[in-house]
Structure 1
Amino acid sequence: MNDIQNLSLDEKDQRIIISLLNDSRSSLKEISGDIGLSAPSVAERIRRLEKIGIIRNFTVDLDSHALGYVLKAIVRIRPMPGKVQPVEQLIIETPQITECSKVTGDDCFVATLYVRSMDEIDIILEKISEKASTSTSLVKRTIIERRAPPLS
């Protein structure tokens, strides 16, 4: 991968990315019409953005509630001494944990968890609590959905 830290995106690249962020299923024709480039030029720019690692993949955004996951929780996890690796592995193996960051500070991990019930939270946290202490907050409302960092 090239050094993308010093890469600046021109206006056309930014508009392509914004279009794909809004709807990753947009056709090349739709994008080209929106930004004033030919479809082959848009395709080439997208390939270049993928090659240099700015565009990593195209995803599907699922509605957790429609899948029956009515509760979202943020869990701060502090492994017991010598248990960081086993806790990390347990986090990786828990499919209800959809995102987790290793962080600085008192806790080692901050995880996002989707569950169908309070009982399900208890079952998951009991497994983790054998190797770590946890602090859990239920999400009442999401203010900002996942979004891209600023492009400029």
Structure 2
Amino acid sequence: MDKLNWAILEELQKNARISFSEIGRKIGLTSPAVTERVRKMEDMGIIDSYKVNLSHQKIGYQLRAIITLRAFTGRLKAFLETVKDYKEVVNCYRITGNENIIMEVILRDQVHLEKLIDKLITYGETRTHIVLSNIVKDGPVKKNI
């Protein structure tokens, strides 16, 4: 990873729809050179996807929460197999510490949250935190983290 690849990644993280010619203008490369570098980073798995970020509130999901789960003995494996089917879960991480799992969920309202918690408590003890605002939104990966 050289300085130019990092510059390309910074531009793509700001706007994944930016044209390669526009990136080239910003960082001082030709469009074919940017294209070649991006393709190589895709082939190497450095860039693994391009995606759309939705405004969940504008499509009817007014509530965002962080839920931790401390799995009951013998229930973690079953949870790990089913959590992928929960449409409310937008991020789920297996973590160290007292809890086994931390999830970010989006929900229509408090009733929707209650129904999700009712499903989750069959796997373990939950702790729920309602998100008030997002201070850092999917910040870009930066060189020299």
| Structure-2-length-normalised TM-score | 0.95
- Name the residue aligned to 2:119: 127
Return the offset for 1:48. Answer: 1.0
- Name the residue aligned to 1:32: 24
For 1:149 and 1:37, how far apart are their aligned partners in 2?
A: 21
- Name the residue aligned to 2:9: 17
The one-character-per-residue Cα deviations of 1:76-105 (angstroms, maximum 9, x if unpaired) are 001110001111123211011000000011
SS state at 2:120 partner: helix
Conserved? CA contact 2:10–2:142, under 8 Å? no
1:93 counterpart = 2:85: yes
Gaps of 5+ in 2: none
For 1:135 and 1:94, how far apart are their aligned partners in 2?
A: 17
Return the offset for 1:127. Answer: 0.8
For 2:14 and 2:123, how far apart are their aligned partners in 1?
A: 41
Deviates more, 1:107-116 or 1:30-39: 30-39
| Structure-1-length-normalised TM-score | 0.91
1:52 counterpart = 2:44: yes
- Structure 1 residue ranges (4+ consecutive) displaced by more than 6 angstroms after TM superposition: none
**Paired residue type of 1:131:** Y
- Name the residue aligned to 1:4: none
Root mean square deviation, CA, Å: 1.0
1:84 counterpart = 2:70: no
For 1:78 and 1:149, how far apart are their aligned partners in 2?
A: 30
Gaps of 5+ in 1: 1-8
For 2:35 and 2:112, how far apart are their aligned partners in 1?
A: 45
For 1:144 and 1:79, how far apart are their aligned partners in 2?
A: 29
SS state at 1:72 partner: strand
Deviates more, 1:93-102 or 1:49-58: 49-58
Give the number of aligned pairs.
144
